[in-house]
Amino acid sequence: MLEARVKQAVVLKKLLDAIKELVSDGNLDCTEEGISLQAMDNSHIALVALKLEASEFDEYRCDRNMPLGVNLASLTKILKCAKDTDVVTLKASDDADALNLIFESPKEDRVGEYEMKLMDIDQEHLGIPDTQYDATVSMSSAEFARICRDLAVLGESVKIECSKEGVTFSADGEVGKGSVLLRQNAGQDRSRVKDEDEVDEDEKLDIKPKTKREARRDPDEDDEDGQRSDVDVKPDIEGEDELQDEEEQEEGEERPKKRKAGGKKDKANKRAKKEDVEEPGVSIILERQVSLTFSLKYLTNFAKSAPLAREVTLHMSNDVPLLVQFEFEQGTLQFFLAPKIADE
């Protein structure tokens, strides 16, 4: 038995818009922790991993793990029947061959009940390596989308170079070539480009990811968050909690930073209400310079998630798949893409 309530249908709509062009079918894996979906894209090149946290649902109940095989095009169609502000309740009985979706207007004078047929999908379970990334770039998701769109005009690939200077996206082709340099400008104490020692410290402390994670969730869940991001879409909760505690105990100096992060959360909330104009700054955590080339086709697809989150984080190490991560109120959406090998 699954019963999950989302306050605003628009979140699910944006999610589906974000992934439906990459993945046609997938299992919504429903567990006590929440709902996750993990799938290779249709051409089996990119990996999409979505996690919706149980705690972030308006109401959540899942008695036992159940994979709900959904056709994302069908789900998109049905979600189109909801108004953006509708309250959505997802329901599935334990042996269901259908997912029930209930759309209720805020005034409760309109109730839509939809039933979507489910399918059996062989879950190729994908282990995502727990990578320590050499470079982590946080930036405005809208800016990321813009850059991908812009450079896609010029060529099929983009080279992303991350150094102390900032991050550079460059592409070239028939028409000509172009590059966009983003300097760090987060307007924070860590906004300047760090030198190696400082970087190491930041990496060790894992400040930056935490800041982002904390932006929308309890600090105590940071590491669960981290695992979700870096290890597996279906992590073991107990193990994570332990890891979390360890880290917190090991590094007492994290606490002040955590509070700082808390401050950021408030700021982010305020922004969401009245400062939408203010774009998130660019911040870079660099352990090692990276230079990687990716298919713009995929990146532009990933960038379609921009409406979900103001900020996107690019995690990169040389010769390792890129992780593009969007954290939004209800969870996390990740995309993985292997770099092109040569500068083709």
Between helix 237-250 and helix 254-274 the angle, nearest 10°, is 120
CB 9 within 8 A of CB 88: yes
85 phi, psi to nearest 5 deg: -90, 0
Residue 158 Cβ, how far from a copy of itself at the closest point, in Å?
Answer: 13
Residues that bind a copy of itself (CB under 8 A): 71, 74, 77-78, 80-81, 98, 107-117, 143, 150-151, 153-154, 172, 174-183, 185, 281-282
By rule CB under 7 A, what string of x and - marks binding of each residue 127-166 to DNA? ---------------x---------xx-------------
The residue (of 107 and 274) whose beta carbon lies closer to a copy of itself is 107
Give the H or E element holding residue 52: strand 46-53
| Stretch 175-234 residues interacting with DNA (CB under 7 A) | none
As given in the structure block, the two tokens for residue 124 are 């190729």
First to last CA, the chain: 50
150 binds, among DNA, a copy of itself, none (CB under 5 to 8 A by kind): a copy of itself
122 binds, among DNA, a copy of itself, none (CB under 5 to 8 A by kind): none
The residue (of 73 and 111) whose beta carbon lies closer to DNA is 73
Cα-based distances in Å from 156 to 62, 171, 172, 174, 306: 43, 8, 8, 10, 21
Map residue 31 onto helix, strand or coil.
strand
As given in the structure block, the two tokens for residue 6 are 């989302």
| Stretch 270-289 residues interacting with DNA (CB under 7 A) | 276
| Stretch 64-83 residues interacting with DNA (CB under 7 A) | 73, 80
Between helix 296-303 and helix 141-152 the angle, nearest 10°, is 150
As given in the structure block, the two tokens for residue 210 are 């935490």
84 binds, among a copy of itself, DNA, none (CB under 5 to 8 A by kind): DNA
Residue 88 Cβ, how far from a copy of itself at the closest point, in Å?
Answer: 13
142 binds, among DNA, a copy of itself, none (CB under 5 to 8 A by kind): DNA
By rule CB under 7 A, what string of x and - marks binding of each residue 87-126 to DNA? ----------------------------------------
CB 333 within 8 A of CB 325: yes
In 202-253, beta strands by DSSP E:
none
255 binds, among a copy of itself, DNA, none (CB under 5 to 8 A by kind): none
Interface stretch with DNA, choices 120-128, 196-204, 259-267, 299-307 (CB under 7 A): 299-307
The residue (of 69 and 281) whose beta carbon lies closer to a copy of itself is 281
Map residue 91 onto helix, strand or coil.
strand
CB 332 within 8 A of CB 51: yes
Residue 16 Cβ, how far from a copy of itself at the closest point, in Å?
Answer: 14
The residue (of 176 and 263) whose beta carbon lies closer to a copy of itself is 176
Cα-based distances in Å from 282 to 19, 177, 183, 266, 301: 25, 23, 7, 19, 21
Residue 326 Cβ, how far from DNA at the closest point, in Å?
Answer: 12
Which residues in this chain contact DNA in the complex, by CB under 7 A?
Answer: 10, 73, 80, 84, 142, 152-153, 276, 297, 300, 306-307
